Amino acid sequence: MGKTDIILCGVGGQGILSIATVIGEAATKAGLNLKQAEVHGMSQRGGDVQSNLRLSDRTIHSDLIPKGTADMILAMEPMEALRYVPFLSKDGWIVTGSKPLINISNYPDEQKLIQELESFPHVAKLDIENIALENKLPKSANMVLLGMASRYIGLLKSEQLREAIARVFAGKGDAVVASNQKAFDLGFNAE
């Protein structure tokens, strides 16, 4: 099988930790080895958040992903995706929300960001925020993103991730599980 190294990134309050928890739960249930580096940056709302998530069917020796080796950059928004491209392998995927979260005064030009993203060979982008809002799931854009990313994760099948959502959110009730799974399905099925 092999390994999958994922860099998760976004801004505090966007649900990056929930994505990491769901992937971790699915990996553990699948019997994979898992290492996660601590989240860097400020996790309060507005600060950048980043995490290394490493999955493998073999022993993992380090929890940090070396530059140029990540299989995926999974980002809630485009500037955060571009911040971590030095870590991406030449065949790696950038999976990102397409709508910028403009939380700083000197945020780069949106068109230039998208052009730079599109210069990479493997990019999947989606307006996850809008999809979540249109479907009355305003707090579930992160699960829309995970659904989209599930097509590219490799070591885990989409159904394993979907089932992990149910286990992770079970304590919050059936409605929360259902809304997060619906958001996941919307991302998985999006073009």
Span 19-38, pLDDT tens digits: 999 999 999 999 999 999 86
Q: Tell me, what's the pLDDT at 90?
A: 95
Classify residue 137 as exposed, middle or buried by CB count within 10 Å of its CB (0-12, 13-18, 19+): middle
Does the predicted model carry a pTM greater than 0.85?
Answer: yes
CA 6 to chain centre: 8
Dist CA 70 CA 95 (whole Å): 12
How many CB atoms within 10 Å of residue 96?
28
* Residue 42 per-residue DSSP state: -
Report pLDDT for 13.
77
Tokens of 90: 């030449």
Domains of the chain: 3-98+114-189 (3.40.920.10)
The end-to-end CA distance of the chain, in Å, is 27
**pLDDT at residue 172, as a whole number:** 97
Average pLDDT in the 122-148 region? Answer: 96
Instruction: Give me the phi and psi of 147, to 5 degrees please.
Output: -60, -45
* pLDDT band (50, 70, 90) for residue 102: low
What is the tens place of the pLDDT at every residue in 49-85?
Answer: 888 999 999 999 998 999 999 999 999 999 999 999 9
Residue with tokens 């730079």: 116
pLDDT band at residue 191 under the 50/70/90 scheme? confident
**Counting beta carbons within 10 angstroms of the beta carbon of residue 143, is it exposed (0 to 12), middle (13 to 18) or buried (19 or more)?**
buried
